[in-house]
Chains A and B, each alone.
Chain A
Amino acid sequence: MTRAIGLAVVAVFAGCGTTGGNLVSFDVVAQGAAPRAGVKAGVYDTSLGWHVELASATLYVGAVYLNQTRPNSGIQGTDCILPSVYTGEELDGRSVNVLSAAPQPFPAPGTGTDDEALTGEVWLTHGDVNAATDGRPIASITGIATQGAQVLPFSATIQIDSANRGIPSPPALPSLHPICKQRIVSPIFIDLRPHDGGTLVVTIDPSGWFDTVDFAKAPPDGVFPDDNTNDASAALFGAIRAATTTFQFSFE
């Protein structure tokens, strides 16, 4: 009896209770969006009347983050990172075949807390998100676009550097448009709560990448220039970074 009371006292005062929340570890996979029924993967009809058949499409995802805030309209900070809001991360990047709906696991598990995540971020970089030069392409795409009798083989290789994708900032606000803004796709609206042992699924849907690309304005050789000087190239770059249509997060 005495021993039981003693144990009860210890249980009440020591080792009992929690500070709330949990640290979690989870798998992370990326996959292409499943094609619509009866449609081959990588085949799309765009709103500008082009029929696109992708032969290959890879996207390098340098990192994935979850955060617990949802940005308010009109209140956009300059900094790409708000240190106190992140609840989950996958730091080991991988190249994703977006034409395959099969799960493609990231090399290492993701970590974080079990707080509710409201926003996702995909970092399209091979290194320092603030570096002027990445050094390697984040997207490589080949395919054929047709419109009536016009058949245009095309290819696009996209690298995000300050020189080709940077937006000039006014002299008074020299960091108004940092290059990291071009490399981080956010906000991807989500509502999930990671748990230990689960899997974060990042689905990449390329179906909208060419929706606003007018291949008629592409160079005659079909090789998209890797900058924003060409309307078709700029449209493709913008569509790849479209947070709401290209990326979906789920947790299983």
Chain B
Amino acid sequence: MIRGSYLMVFLLAFPRFAHAQPADAGVPDTPPPPAPPDPGAPPPSGAVAAPSLSPSASAPSTEEPPRITHQSPPIFPDVPKPRQKPTDVLVHVEVDAGGSPANPRVISQPNPPFDDLAIASVLSWTFEPAHSGGQPVASHLNVTVHFDPAAPGGETITVQGTLNALERGHQAAPSVGAQDVHVEAGKLATEIPHKDATELLGWAPGFLLTNEGGEGHAEQIFLRGFDAREGQDIEMRVNGDVVNQVGNLHGNGYADLHFIIPELVQALHVVEGPYDPRQGNFAVAGSADYELGLTRRGLTGSYEVGSYGTQRALLLWGSPTSNSHNFGGVELYQTSGFGQNRDARRATALGQLEDKLGEDGLWRLTSGAYITDYHSAGVVREDDYAAHRIGFLDTYDPDQGGAASRVFVLGDLEFQHEDTTTHHQLSFTAQTLRLREDFTGFLLDQQEAVQTPHGQRGDLIDLESDAITLQEQSWMRRHLDIAGLTQELELGLYGRLDATTGQQYRLFTLATPPYPYHKEADLSAVLGDVGLYAAANVKLAPWAALRGGVRADLFTYNVLDNCAVQSVAHPSPANPPGDASCLSQADMGRPREPVARSTTAGAIVLPRASLVLGPFFGLSPSVSIGRGVRSIDPSYISQDRATPFAQIGSYEGGLAYKGSPGDLDLELRLSGFRTHVDQDLVFSETVGRNTLANGTTRIGGALSGRLRGPWFDQNASVTMVRSTFDDTGLLIPYVPDVVVRSDSVVFSALPWQLGGQAPVATAGLGVTCVGPRALPFGERSDTIFTIDGSASLAWNRYRLGLKASNLLDTRYRLGEYNYRSDFRLQDATVPTLTVARHFTAGAPRIVVFQLEVTL
């Protein structure tokens, strides 16, 4: 903890950043490496190695990183005079235990013919291999090849053919400013406890995750003043494939990321705000794209056992002869859960293959399967807890929980030829979701005149939402040389078709087992979305780029409400029969079926633009403006409704710094933003999800940074935002004003050896602080402050780890709500009908011991 604090101070006060080299600052131009090595990953030999050589090298974990022993300058190519200027190409290269370079890949923006020459140049270099415990080991690193037209030429290099796609790596979109955050997983993924892949979002500024639904329920995400619930305001992607489930009855845009094994996340790309034309539906607060990969080659087996009967078995494998995008992984997890009714089980399988396709092509096939079953505790009323009528970690309704499944196949093709890159992606996803949630107890069951007399039968929601999704994406990016500057133009399309079904029932919870007594919704829908976009990266000057374009989407809705009629015009003892929910009737001889179909469509045009300047001594100012869209819940669709979506307008200003002072990598980002939504969504406890509300505005700012050095990795952010309703000026409830997150990792080889190798010790610390959140009726929630910690010892093929979430065992309320409920624990015999405070309990300290072997 002390060391973590030291690192924070170090991060904020480090005085040398002004002298950083601008070559790799590259916030405007240099995309983040798509295949960063995991510094802690054992190379094929099984030894731990992760050298630090250049400013863009990965964080090391060996005591002796590789060194260049001979470096011949590259030949400057014969290019037009305007392009005869200093140029950098970033190359990822593996160095074997003999010091020979292998498998170089260009990971900066394509820039022929510099790329070919850079590859050839790096292959001609010689290295002193990395050493671990005095033994030479294989390693990998990023090097910057600098082309200087004024420098004397080196030896003549013959280029054999042209670079193929695999050697270039997948193409990343250019940064759109300071709010465009790309985080390599590295130590943050392995050393900070992450329960699931959603928690990795904490690497980017401003994210707060809560979960009242249980371990198999998607995390609720708050970002920059948005209550994005389970993803409805954030476009979630995995390898570019959109995860948000359109038409999910629990929340349109529901995005459950539990199917991602956290160890298979290689990088996370977050764009906060709708500023990139590539962002589609649900990119309201922003978008997040998980890049899957496994840098730890070989076969890794891991077993974790910990508090509350938690067990996790993990198998990961990746051929040492293939790159990080070839992998397989299986995860089995189960827990009894803390407190009452929080048990969970899940199994996940993820696999990916990638290889060359011809000289210029690259194919990739990703597939996965995920199943889970779990229970959840739900909310607890504060007055019941205070009166000792219920425990902090208890539940009112043990029937809460759910189950989910997902299978998907995702195929990618990418071709790079000369100045043009084309990419095609096709995916198929089938998923199911069952949720049982009880927010209000015995409150909502209305007595209708046509019903037989009943008391409150229970408000437990039983929801099932299934979907089959086909997605297709394609884009072509071309680099043009205009006025001596490399310009970039991309045209892309996005197509998606979802066939969804959803039913929601209320269960009679006093019965054993509970059974449905009322069907609230029964929808079948076919939902389409076709979007086109044009994105340009226009270099106005060597230090100024205008990035953006326009996107147009057409959303179509074909919704069949199978339960559109819930009453009859002329009730009689035989009509309706009993308490039936979805009623057909014969009204004066005219039959009426209980169904109603609605079709409608809406188109929207979304202009987006960013002006990115610099870098000036590593500093890159930027301004952005853009519009976003969130398609509307199919349950709100009516025939020919004109604009079935919510529109978002946002602008932002920011300042980014990227530099490499000494042997450190430093990134800092500062941004301020304003976002307006014309139809926002606010949580409603009566239906257990967000429902439509009025227009809202958010104004805020974020500061984040990451500092990596030879023995540490520090990532931290603070976000402040003010979120208000437009009509009243009142605060939006539940969203946090202030979110602070810090992840610190320190690592070093120990000063003694075992079997000729020095063990490597690592310690990690994650700190989360969330300021008091506005609650309905002028109240504020408690502050959340938690610390997660970890320690590990790696030697040879083995690794022992200890991870503790909520290290201080703080008793905190993860989610707090003010609304009406009646769980019948009050002393009174009459119902409580006014507003009361509710909370979902945060997890107590959970300690997990881990043993990991890599072969």
Determine if A173 and B774 form an interchain contact, defined as CB atoms under 8 angstroms apart: no
- Identify which of B443, B450, B771, B818 contacts A173 (C-beta below 8 A): B450
Q: Is the CB of A81 within 8 A of B731?
A: no
**Residues of the A chain whose Cβ atoms lie less than 8 Å from the Cβ of B820:** 83-84, 86
| Cβ contacts A56-78/B at 8 Å (1 or 0 each) | 00000011010000000000011
A99-126 near B? 1/0 per residue, CB < 8 Å: 0000000000001110000000001011
Are the C-beta atoms of A19 and B730 separated by less than 8 Å? Answer: yes
Instruction: Give A126's nearest chain B residue, CB to CB.
Output: B829
Q: Using Cβ atoms and an 8 Å threshold, which residues of chain A touch B573?
A: 171-172
The answer for the CA separation of A129 and B455 in the assembled complex, in Å, is 9
Q: Is B834's CB under 8 angstroms from A17's CB?
A: no
Knowing A18-B774, A83-B820 are in contact, say whether A175-B452 is a contact too (CB < 8 A): yes
Q: Which of A87-95, A149-157, A236-244 contacts B (4 or more CB under 8 A)?
A: A87-95
The interface bits of chain A over 14-29 (1 if a CB of B lies within 8 angstroms of the residue's CB, else 0) are: 1111111111000000
Q: Which residues of A contact B722 (CB under 8 A)?
A: 12-14, 16-17
Could you tell me the distance between the alpha carbons of A84 and B685 in the complex, rounded to whole angstroms?
A: 11
Residues of A with C-beta under 8 A to B752? none
Q: Contact: B833 with A17, CB < 8 Å?
A: no
The answer to whether A22 and B447 touch (CB under 8 A), given A14-B720, A91-B828, A175-B453, is no
Does A174 have its Cβ within 8 Å of any Cβ on chain B? yes
- A sample of 18 inter-chain contacts (CB < 8 A) reads A13-B737, A15-B771, A18-B774, A20-B728, A22-B779, A23-B818, A62-B830, A89-B832, A89-B834, A93-B828, A113-B777, A125-B829, A126-B829, A131-B455, A172-B571, A172-B572, A175-B450, A176-B449
Does A141 interact with chain B (Cβ within 8 Å)?
Answer: no
Bound Cα distance from A65 to B455, whole angstroms: 19
Within 8 A of A (CB), among B350-392: none
Whether A19 contacts B834 in the complex (CB less than 8 A), given A91-B828, A173-B449, A175-B450, comes out as no
> A23-B777, A169-B449 are known contacts; what are 10 more A-B pairs with Cβ within 8 Å?
A13-B737, A18-B730, A22-B777, A63-B830, A78-B447, A81-B833, A91-B832, A125-B829, A172-B450, A180-B447
List the B side residues contacting A173 at CB < 8 Å: 449-450, 571
Query: In the complex, A35→B683 CA distance in Å?
Result: 51
Chain B 427-440 near chain A by CB (<8 Å), digits 1 or 0: 00000000000001
B126 interfacial by beta-carbon distance below 8 Å: no
**Number of interchain pairs (Cβ within 8 Å):** 148
| Contact among A18, A81, A128, A176 with B778 in the assembled complex (CB-CB below 8 Å) | A18
Among all A-B residue pairs, the 10 with the closest Cβ atoms: A91-B828, A13-B720, A86-B833, A14-B737, A127-B829, A78-B449, A173-B449, A63-B830, A21-B777, A20-B730
Q: Contact: A13 with B777, CB < 8 Å? A: no
Known A19-B778, A92-B828; contact A113-B834, beta-carbon cutoff 8 A: yes
Contacts of A125 in B (CB 8 A): 829-830
CB-CB < 8 A to B738: which residues of A? 10, 13-14
In the complex, B446 has a CB within 8 A of chain A: yes
B826 within 8 A of A: yes
Give chain B residues whose Cβ lies under 8 Å from the Cβ of A1.
none
Interfacial chain A residues near B834, Cβ < 8 Å: 86-89, 111-113
Q: Which residues of chain A have C-beta atoms less than 8 A from B688's C-beta?
A: none
8 Å CB contact of A129 from B452, B826, B830: B830
Residue A37 at the chain B interface, CB threshold 8 Å = no
Count of B interface residues, CB-CB < 8 Å: 54
- The interface centre, meaning the residue of B448, B771, B831, B832 with most chain A CB atoms within 10 A of its CB, is B831
Given the interface pairs A81-B831, A83-B444, the reply to whether A21 lies near B572 with Cβ below 8 Å is no
Tell me the complex Cα distance, A128–B737, Å. Answer: 42
B495 at the A/B interface (Cβ < 8 Å)?
Answer: no
Contact B776 A21 (CB under 8 A): yes
Residues B449 and A19 in contact, CB atoms below 8 Å apart: no
Q: What's the Cα separation between A68 and B818 when bound, in Å?
A: 17
CB-CB < 8 A to B724: which residues of A?
17
Question: Is A128 a contact partner of B453 (Cβ separation < 8 A)?
Answer: no
Contacts of A87 in B (CB 8 A): 834
Q: In the complex, what's the smallest C-beta–C-beta distance from B833 to chain A, in angstroms?
A: 4
- B772 part of interface (Cβ distance < 8 Å): yes
Task: Indicate whether A234 reaches chain B with its CB closer than 8 angstroms.
Answer: no
- Please give the number of chain A residues whose Cβ is less than 8 angstroms from any Cβ of chain B in the complex: 51
Q: Is the CB of A130 within 8 A of B455?
A: yes
CB distance from A147 to the nearest CB of B (A): 40
Task: From known contacts A62-B830, A83-B833, A112-B835, infer whether A15 and B778 are also in contact, taking CB-CB under 8 Å.
Answer: no
Central interface residue in A18, A21, A123, A173, by most chain B CB within 10 Å: A18
CA A20 to CA B775, docked complex, whole Å: 9
Whether B826 contacts A91 by the Cβ 8 Å rule is yes
Q: What residues make up the interface of B, taking CB atoms closer than 8 Å to A?
A: 440, 443-444, 446-455, 571-573, 686, 699-701, 720-722, 724, 728, 730-733, 737-738, 771-772, 774-780, 818, 820, 826-837
CB < 8 Å neighbour of A19 from B700, B701, B720, B733: B733
Chain B CB within 8 A of A32 CB: no
The CA-CA distance from A21 to B722 in the complex, in Å, is: 18
CB distance from A107 to the nearest CB of B (A): 10
Report the nearest A residue to B572, measured CB to CB: A172
B700: nearest residue on chain A (CB-CB)?
A13
Residues of B within 8 A of A129 (CB): 830-831
Q: Is A80 an interface position by the 8 A CB rule?
A: yes
Q: Output the nearest chain B residue to A62 by Cβ-Cβ distance.
A: B830
List the B side residues contacting A172 at CB < 8 Å: 450, 571-573
> Which residues of the partner chain A approach B686 to less than 8 Å between Cβ atoms?
83-84
Asked whether, in the complex, the Cβ of A79 is within 8 Å of the Cβ of B446, the reply is yes
A4 beta carbon closer than 8 Å to chain B: no
**Which residues of chain A come closer than 8 Å to B733, judged between CB atoms?**
19
Establish whether residues A83 and B571, one from each chain, have CB atoms under 8 Å apart when the complex forms: no
Chain A residues contacting B728 (CB-CB under 8 Å) are 20
Residues of B near A17 (CB, < 8 A) are 722, 724, 730-731, 774
State whether the Cβ of A42 lies closer than 8 Å to any Cβ in chain B. no
Please give me the residue from chain B that is nearest to A17 by CB atom.
B731
A23 touches B448 (CB 8 A): no
Bound form: Cα–Cα A129–B835 in Å: 20
The answer to whether the Cβ of A206 comes within 8 Å of any Cβ in the partner chain is no
- Residues from chain B with Cβ under 8 Å of A187 in the complex: none
Residues of A within 8 A of B778 (CB): 18-23
B448 and A15: CB pair below 8 A? no
Query: In the complex, A20 Cα to B694 Cα: how many Å?
Result: 15
A10 partner residues in chain B, CB cutoff 8 A: 720, 738
Residues of chain A within 8 A of B572, CB atoms compared: 171-172
Q: Which of A174-221 contact B (CB under 8 A)?
A: 174-176, 178, 180
Task: Report the Cα distance A92→B573, complex, angstroms.
Answer: 39
Give the nearest-CB partner of A86 in chain B: B833
Which chain B positions have C-beta within 8 A of A84? 686, 820
Q: Are B571 and A15 in contact (CB under 8 A)?
A: no
Residues of A within 8 A of B455 (CB): 128, 130-131
Flag whether A39 is at the interface (Cβ < 8 A). no
A9 lies within 8 A of chain B by Cβ: yes
What CA separation (Å) do A19 and B733 show in the bound complex?
6
Q: When chains A and B are docked, how far (Å) is the Cα of A83 from the Cα of B459?
A: 12
Using CB atoms, name the residue of chain A closest to B739: A14
The answer for the CA separation of A12 and B722 in the assembled complex, in Å, is: 8
A129–B826 alpha-carbon span in the complex (Å): 15
Whose C-beta in chain A lies nearest to the C-beta of B451?
A175
Q: In the complex the two chains form, what is the Cα distance from A23 to B728 in whole Å? A: 19
A78–B455 CA distance with the chains assembled, in angstroms: 13
Considering the chains assembled together, what is the distance between the CA atoms of A18 and B723 in angstroms? Answer: 10
Instruction: Chain A residues near B828: list those with CB within 8 A.
Output: 63, 91-93
B822 and chain A: residue at smallest CB distance: A83
Q: How far is the CA of A113 from the CA of B378 in the complex (A)?
A: 24
The residue that B701 contacts in the complex, of A13, A93, A130, A171, with Cβ under 8 A, is: A13
A12 to B701, CA, bound (A): 11
Q: How far is the CA of A171 from the CA of B780 in the complex (A)?
A: 50
Contact between A128 and B829, CB atoms less than 8 A apart = yes
CB pair A20–B777 under 8 Å, yes or no, is: yes
Q: How far is the CB of B52 from chain A (nearest CB, A)?
A: 35
Question: In the assembled complex, how far is the CB of residue A179 from the closest CB belonging to chain B, in whole angstroms?
Answer: 8
- Most central of A113, A131, A180 by chain B CB within 10 Å: A113
